[in-house]
Chain A
């Protein structure tokens, strides 16, 4: 047994370059339950981050009692991380689950039956559609539903109601990944693959604390690092993360300055001639503009802006420019910061300039945060159209209209689907009067929470919240619908490297809870949404019908699922799309032929100006004749809009810890995870702590122009001048409201977003910090992660090492099976991952 709270990444299984990542099967069972007690194992994949680790759920007496990684899956080779081991099943098995619908009566939420709740929803919905039209309706969904559920919602919104106001929490986590891929390559679609870790000579992690956000993926990197020929590592992150600790070059940039750094890296590549001229000539457009944009950005110029040594920037560029095979991964440090899309496009540009794409070890992973964010992008329940279709292309709209058998004019396509922040703005202004929030918790996750709370409480706004628990958001609802969770329903979802998994129903949901799909289908039925012939718009009986319908929608598009079926997904490994006649077992990486989806008839987007977000438009895009070439897009650096000043002298950034997911609705119900990271904290550097007279564990007040939080301080090795707060800690486990001691990191964040991806800026704000109370002990921050106490802190108080004790134990079987490989691992049957 291994304490997987203390040892987040588990036992090392080193392997060499181009080797196969060894299998290690991880398993956690409820205390007192042994394998012999388990009635059956039900196939699934974990939904607590975007990694999509395949697993089997242990079921005993109709309840989930444990989990085990699937040895034969290409994603995780049997492994699970702490969240998967200890929160996947515990996170939904809590007694606090919502069991019956609730409606607001005389200001209070009271239980009712489904008919009453649904009637109340449809009554309001009908009346508003009649009086105000479709633009009165908004939908805000998640990165945590299943594919079939997103697709149902997309059809309801686009073909049933006809509202453009539909987005997901994906806007907060992955919008920039999609935007950057569209700008550079013409359509969404992850170019790289996890096996690029196996084959690369260097890995660049841009604002991606992989060690905590995708712990199993980081295990793979650690196993390469422990092998005989470790890849070089470059880390861009203001914090001393686990990634930074292994890095050859750690660029601890000032928050908000990524683009200055990226422009300098590109300039170094160009200035040193480290580019593949033939590749650039044959497969890209826009070199001259790129060159002109980055020209002023010498390493020294960027060093002055980013506050990192110019020599480090040069060294990072040299590693990129001279390593044989480079893998880049990008996440929230770029996506949730200033000039997000422009910075992320520069990562794509670095690969395009060197022709490092579509070959083993040469990949880009524009990551996602949430587990099923990818499906929301594909199915179009966010700011995209289903099947990566282009809202500016009338032919694509006609395709959807034919597919759904509705009038093309029903489908809103006069401008891009409304992004989340704008949906909330319309609700604030009163023009959206019906808002349906499913499986997400904006009252904790959105920026500038004082404002969001006001919006949710707007009189006249009819708020429907569909969730597993009575979240902070649900408390503000007019109707609360109890949803079935993971393991209680069947459906598919797709991880960050395009791998599709099936998650089968293992147990019954509690009480009267229903799957999100059932709820959406019920709404569509009651609203009598019809096709042109008058038949029901959504006649699916269940999830598999939804999947089959989706396959038709995806046909011929980059995310082609036509070769995938529930049956093929049962037993073997997950399957990476596109999976069709041409790629019967799916495809590991895209763009090996250097042909990109920029054909104007095929592309998902004609692109944007990266500084303003102005659309390029069809004519200008066609005029460039991209014909399959990628586009080198760039923008000049502009300073972030809120910078430290006399009143608010420090930079503020937010993020995650390895032990929690999102707003802790699931991980907060797991005892070992909650013990590892029980409550909120902030991190500051020994230098800042000394200056402000703050010691480890002291209670501090952090204030921005929006609000304040009051939490204990951890003195860590974050860069000086920067304050970090984890964003997980809302109020559901207190009394639902911030009260006198607010703890949610988003009390302080700014209402601002990237002009292209519309992703909010969570990672840059100006704050001040003051001590308001003496420590009663060390801060409740883990010692195993980036929040590890600094050795340089003055007068260290003893911080207990984070450990899981009895409840944090998991079994590991190293080398339990031969490593799975593509394509042999696909579609085999009878493989149950048992060691």
Chain B
């Protein structure tokens, strides 16, 4: 059974997502909505990791190091500047959150097959919030895209408010 690999991966990915939300929150602190919401969403991810941990432990952490490389979710290493930079960072968060979202779906499928009520309760607690995170990122990107891609100056140096 490989569910433990997926659980470990999900746990890790939620932590990575939390860190990335925090990074964007700080890197784009001049956008107050991004700043505050990314911090709030990072807390949601922390909470997801917390409630998932007992399940991860129950199934036993995977020590084989055998999962394929591409299943790792890379976090954001740094944030970019200016309107286009904001858009790109939100898009990175979107990719990461999508990874988390679809992983929850896989875990839910496996949990259903195993009739693991405890696991399914954790999924129910968390997967709706992840879906909302995705919707927020999409809402915010849709709002930002026209101005960033059409009207804003291309080089971040021209962003008068950039740090």
- Residues of A at the B interface (CB closer than 8 Å) are 132-133, 135-136, 164, 414-416, 418, 421-422, 425-426, 428-432, 458, 609, 611-617, 638, 641, 750-753, 755
Of the residues A132, A136, A429, contact of B160 by C-beta under 8 Å: A429
Q: CA separation between A614 and B135, bound complex, in Å? A: 5
> Please, which residue of chain B has its CB at the minimum distance from the CB of A414?
B146
Which residues on the A side are within 8 Å of B138 (C-beta)? 614
Are B139 and A615 within 8 A (Cβ)? yes
Which residues on the A side are within 8 Å of B31 (C-beta)? 425
Which residues on the B side are within 8 Å of A426 (C-beta)? 147, 151
Given the interface pairs A414-B142, A429-B83, A609-B135, the reply to whether A133 lies near B160 with Cβ below 8 Å is no
Are B83 and A415 within 8 A (Cβ)? no
Q: CA separation between A429 and B151, bound complex, in Å? A: 11
**Does B112 touch A at the CB level, under 8 Å?**
no
Q: CA separation between A35 and B162, bound complex, in Å? A: 62
Q: CA separation between A731 and B40, bound complex, in Å? A: 38
For chain B, the count of residues having a C-beta within 8 Å of the partner chain is 28
Which residues on the A side are within 8 Å of B32 (C-beta)? 421, 750-753
Q: CA separation between A616 and B132, bound complex, in Å? A: 9
Which residues on the B side are within 8 Å of A753 (C-beta)? 32-33
Are B132 and A614 within 8 A (Cβ)? yes
Which residues on the B side are within 8 Å of A430 (C-beta)? 152-153, 158-160
Q: CA separation between A505 and B139, bound complex, in Å? A: 45
**Does B122 touch A at the CB level, under 8 Å?**
no
Given the interface pairs A609-B132, A753-B32, the reply to whether A431 lies near B143 with Cβ below 8 Å is no
Are A135 and B147 within 8 A (Cβ)? yes
Which residues on the A side are within 8 Å of B41 (C-beta)? 612
Q: CA separation between A755 and B41, bound complex, in Å? A: 13
Q: CA separation between A446 and B66, bound complex, in Å? A: 56
Q: A612-B40, A617-B135 are in contact. List 7 more A-B contacts (CB 8 A).
A: A135-B146, A418-B143, A421-B32, A426-B151, A430-B159, A611-B40, A614-B136
Which residues on the A side are within 8 Å of B114 (C-beta)? none
CB-CB nearest 9 A-B residue pairs: A614-B135, A135-B151, A614-B136, A612-B136, A431-B152, A431-B151, A415-B143, A415-B142, A752-B32
Given the interface pairs A414-B142, A431-B83, the reply to whether A611 lies near B36 with Cβ below 8 Å is no
Of the residues B37, B146, B158, contact of A612 by C-beta under 8 Å: B37
Are B132 and A612 within 8 A (Cβ)? yes
Are A416 and B143 within 8 A (Cβ)? yes
Which residues on the A side are within 8 Å of B33 (C-beta)? 613, 752-753, 755
**Does B1 touch A at the CB level, under 8 Å?**
no
Are B135 and A132 within 8 A (Cβ)? no
Q: CA separation between A426 and B147, bound complex, in Å? A: 8
Are A428 and B135 within 8 A (Cβ)? no
CB distance from B157 to the nearest CB of A (A): 11
Which residues on the B side are within 8 Å of A422 (C-beta)? 143
CB distance from B138 to the nearest CB of A (A): 7
Which residues on the A side are within 8 Å of B40 (C-beta)? 611-612, 638
> Please, which residue of chain A has its CB at the minimum distance from the CB of B37?
A612
Of residues B133, B142, B160, which shows the largest number of chain A Cβ atoms within 10 Å of its Cβ? B160
**Does B113 touch A at the CB level, under 8 Å?**
no
Q: CA separation between A638 and B37, bound complex, in Å? A: 11
Which residues on the B side are within 8 Å of A136 (C-beta)? 151
Q: Which of B128-157 contact A (CB under 8 A)?
A: 132-133, 135-136, 138-139, 142-143, 146-147, 150-153
Are B158 and A641 within 8 A (Cβ)? no
Are B159 and A614 within 8 A (Cβ)? no
Q: CA separation between A421 and B33, bound complex, in Å? A: 10
CB distance from B105 to the nearest CB of A (A): 17
CB distance from A749 to the nearest CB of B (A): 12
Are B37 and A755 within 8 A (Cβ)? yes
Are B132 and A428 within 8 A (Cβ)? no
Are A431 and B136 within 8 A (Cβ)? no
CB distance from B161 to the nearest CB of A (A): 5
Which residues on the A side are within 8 Å of B153 (C-beta)? 430-431
Q: CA separation between A431 and B82, bound complex, in Å? A: 11
Q: CA separation between A752 and B39, bound complex, in Å? A: 14
CB distance from A776 to the nearest CB of B (A): 39
Are A428 and B160 within 8 A (Cβ)? yes
Q: CA separation between A611 and B82, bound complex, in Å? A: 26
> Please, which residue of chain B has its CB at the minimum distance from the CB of A132?
B151
Q: CA separation between A155 and B110, bound complex, in Å? A: 55
Q: CA separation between A611 and B41, bound complex, in Å? A: 10
Of residues A415, A416, A426, A429, which shows the largest number of chain B Cβ atoms within 10 Å of its Cβ? A429
Are B132 and A429 within 8 A (Cβ)? no
Are B139 and A458 within 8 A (Cβ)? no
CB distance from B141 to the nearest CB of A (A): 9
Which residues on the A side are within 8 Å of B158 (C-beta)? 430
Of residues A426, A431, A617, A638, which shows the largest number of chain B Cβ atoms within 10 Å of its Cβ? A431
Which residues on the A side are within 8 Å of B36 (C-beta)? 641, 752
Are A429 and B161 within 8 A (Cβ)? yes
Which residues on the B side are within 8 Å of A431 (C-beta)? 83, 147, 151-153
Q: CA separation between A750 and B146, bound complex, in Å? A: 27
> Please, which residue of chain B has its CB at the minimum distance from the CB of A750?
B32
Are A429 and B152 within 8 A (Cβ)? yes
Q: CA separation between A422 and B150, bound complex, in Å? A: 16
Given the interface pairs A135-B151, A414-B142, the reply to whether A613 lies near B136 with Cβ below 8 Å is yes
> Please, which residue of chain A has its CB at the minimum distance from the CB of B138?
A614
CB distance from B60 to the nearest CB of A (A): 32
Which residues on the A side are within 8 Å of B143 (C-beta)? 415-416, 418, 422
Q: CA separation between A614 and B146, bound complex, in Å? A: 18
A sample of 16 cross-chain residue pairs with beta-carbon separation below 8 angstroms, ordered by A number, consists of: A415-B143, A416-B143, A425-B30, A428-B161, A429-B152, A430-B160, A431-B83, A611-B40, A612-B41, A614-B136, A615-B139, A616-B135, A638-B40, A752-B33, A753-B32, A755-B37
Of residues A132, A136, A164, A415, which shows the largest number of chain B Cβ atoms within 10 Å of its Cβ? A415
Of residues B41, B147, B159, which shows the largest number of chain A Cβ atoms within 10 Å of its Cβ? B147
CB distance from B18 to the nearest CB of A (A): 16
Of the residues B37, B135, B136, B159, contact of A429 by C-beta under 8 Å: B159
> Please, which residue of chain A has its CB at the minimum distance from the CB of B153?
A430
Which residues on the A side are within 8 Å of B82 (C-beta)? 429
Q: CA separation between A132 and B150, bound complex, in Å? A: 8
Q: CA separation between A432 and B142, bound complex, in Å? A: 18
CB distance from A419 to the nearest CB of B (A): 9
Are B147 and A613 within 8 A (Cβ)? no
Which residues on the A side are within 8 Å of B83 (C-beta)? 429, 431
> Please, which residue of chain A has its CB at the minimum distance from the CB of B43?
A638
Of residues B31, B41, B136, which shows the largest number of chain A Cβ atoms within 10 Å of its Cβ? B136
> Please, which residue of chain B has its CB at the minimum distance from the CB of A754?
B33
Q: CA separation between A751 and B33, bound complex, in Å? A: 9
CB distance from B147 to the nearest CB of A (A): 5
CB distance from B59 to the nearest CB of A (A): 28
Q: CA separation between A830 and B136, bound complex, in Å? A: 56
CB distance from B73 to the nearest CB of A (A): 21
CB distance from B158 to the nearest CB of A (A): 7
CB distance from B123 to the nearest CB of A (A): 16
Q: CA separation between A454 and B150, bound complex, in Å? A: 24
CB distance from A746 to the nearest CB of B (A): 15
Q: CA separation between A602 and B19, bound complex, in Å? A: 42
Which residues on the B side are within 8 Å of A609 (C-beta)? 132, 135-136
Q: CA separation between A429 and B82, bound complex, in Å? A: 8
Which residues on the B side are within 8 Å of A614 (C-beta)? 132, 135-136, 138-139
Of the residues B133, B135, B151, B152, contact of A615 by C-beta under 8 Å: B135
Q: CA separation between A750 and B132, bound complex, in Å? A: 26
Which residues on the A side are within 8 Å of B142 (C-beta)? 414-415
CB distance from B143 to the nearest CB of A (A): 5
Which residues on the A side are within 8 Å of B151 (C-beta)? 132-133, 135-136, 426, 431-432
Which residues on the B side are within 8 Å of A418 (C-beta)? 143
Which residues on the B side are within 8 Å of A135 (C-beta)? 146-147, 150-151
Q: CA separation between A425 and B35, bound complex, in Å? A: 14
Chain B 82-123 per-residue mask, 1 if CB under 8 angstroms from chain A, else 0 = 110000000000000000000000000000000000000000
CB distance from A617 to the nearest CB of B (A): 7
Q: CA separation between A522 and B159, bound complex, in Å? A: 34
